[in-house]
Chain A
Amino acid sequence: MLARGLRDEGFEVVYTGLRQTPEMIVTAALQEDVDAVGLSILSGAHMTLVPRVCSLLRERGMDDVLVTAGGIIPDEDVPALKEAGVAAVFGPGTTIATVADFLRANVRPRD
């Protein structure tokens, strides 16, 4: 599981469970003051859910939080997701190390 893999890379991972609404995700991100939000979607609803998470984050002043997406996302959807504010889309088979390196290189510096 990604959460465990990232823990082994030295990250603190807040796991929220499955089937979260965008509102639940953004509230969790705000209360936990996270550096990044990782969305895993297998349902095919990524074109509605992911942009919604991005816009809610912006609404609540968290436009500096990095958003990544993973799961089953067709290549042709990637440009639109990036347009919506997703920093990276990780397809099946992406290694934990790749994700960890991306996060380390791209999260905002802390005050």
Chain B
Amino acid sequence: MAERRFPAGGSGGDGGGATGPAEVAATEAATTKLAGALCDAALAGDRRSLSRLLTAVENRTSLAETALRRLYPLAGRAQLIGITGPPGAGKSTLVAALIAELRRVGRPVAVVAVDPSSPITGGAVLGDRVRMQAYAADDGVFIRSMASRGHSGGLSSATTAAAAVFDAAGFDVVLIETVGTGQSEVEVAATADTTVVVEAPEMGDEIQAIKAGLLEVADIIVVNKGDRPGAHRTASQLQAMLAGTPREGRPGRPTPKHPEVLVTTAATGQGVAELLAAIDRHRSVARDADGDSARLKRAEAQVWAVLVDRLHERVRSLEGAQDPRAVGADAASEKPTAAGELLRAVASHDVDPYAAADAILARLIHGGSTP
């Protein structure tokens, strides 16, 4: 059985391009009102409203912005745990086992499960729920799938924003599951308070592990499928490899991590309570040691994503000045050329891309907000 959701395409826009100022104001007022109503309901425990807010966050609509401005101050309490690793290591099964353990001790838990989108069609099959369906009747568990949708860098801002929504709604723990292939997926897990990298026995030799760059983001390494032959050997190989990590970072580099290595059998729950204890331990140590660098990383991901979005918007509105009259007026008053004009100049190699970017920046800074 399958449910379908439309990709970002048509659902993100609000307010068409050709509407008058009165209609725009009316749309904005309606959006603000709907955002407020959804926030109120979600905070009061209504799961449908929570779900709709998550969609807005995922689609980056203006409703999401209004809602997040309201919810952000209420968030900041939840523990974010990133779970990543190569395909087939048993991440979803481990997440399901962590849910079971968290519920056993009475902690409400939300899951953001990220799966890759097809770069060709934009479609995706999101299959991580399959192993987590046992919690349908439990109101203390909320599982949300998210397609990566190819937003470079924006993925971590989408998942952290989703985590903030869950956080404000009272979820004590947010598990963020991503496949540990591809830069943005790894970054997502790395913005959590604690990043758990899941490996399976004999899956990759040491060199593979280093190559993947995965282990560098790990706060905890789990060798899952511990009932398989070789699990403990893989764990000690990893430990031996990590033993060579220097204590101090080189000047100007981040302090190297010294992840604990644990063995779990997610399918039976073996080692999962110990994993949760290790995660909690890591969180409290990390908070004392480096002043919550994970939180700073998340803040950076979010602010940058918004900055980039806003810059895009502003630059596009400069492109709007392609209207020949506007360009003509610019030429007459010797203002910097419009962005569209600049792009053509770069395309024909009359202007280099650096000069063009500087010119656009200069125009944005000195030219006021209207093109």
User: Residues on A close to B: CB < 8 A?
Assistant: 2-4, 6-18, 20-21, 23-25, 27-40, 60-62, 103, 107, 110-111
Offer 19 A-B interface pairs, CB within 8 angstroms, sorted by A: A9-B123, A12-B4, A12-B5, A13-B2, A15-B125, A16-B1, A16-B3, A16-B133, A17-B130, A23-B136, A27-B137, A28-B129, A31-B47, A32-B144, A33-B48, A34-B4, A35-B4, A37-B3, A111-B63
With A3-B125, A32-B145 in contact, is A14–B5 under 8 Å at CB? Answer: yes
Q: Mark B17-35, 1 if CB is under 8 A from A, else 0.
A: 0000000000000000010
Chain B interface mostly: mixed
9 A-B pairs besides A11-B4, A12-B124, A32-B5 with CB distance below 8 A are A3-B127, A8-B123, A10-B123, A12-B4, A12-B6, A17-B131, A20-B1, A61-B48, A110-B55
Cross-chain contact A14 with B129 (CB below 8 angstroms): yes
| One of A34, A39, A61 near B5 (C-beta < 8 A) | A34
Q: How far is the CB of B115 from chain A (nearest CB, A)?
A: 9
Size of the chain B interface, CB-CB below 8 angstroms? 39
| One of B117, B125, B144 near A31 (C-beta < 8 A) | B144
Inter-chain contacts of B143 with A (CB < 8 A): 28, 31
Chain B residues 128-144 with CB under 8 Å of chain A are 129-131, 133, 136-137, 142-144
Inter-chain contacts of B6 with A (CB < 8 A): 11-12, 35, 107, 110
Cross-chain contact B5 with A38 (CB below 8 angstroms): no
| One of A12, A17, A31, A61 near B142 (C-beta < 8 A) | A31
Cross-chain contact A16 with B129 (CB below 8 angstroms): yes
Q: How far is the CB of A70 from chain B (nearest CB, A)?
A: 10
Residue in A closest to B46 when the chains form the complex, CB atoms: A61
Cross-chain contact B145 with A20 (CB below 8 angstroms): no
B122 at interface by CB-CB < 8 Å: yes
Q: How far is the CB of B30 from chain A (nearest CB, A)?
A: 9
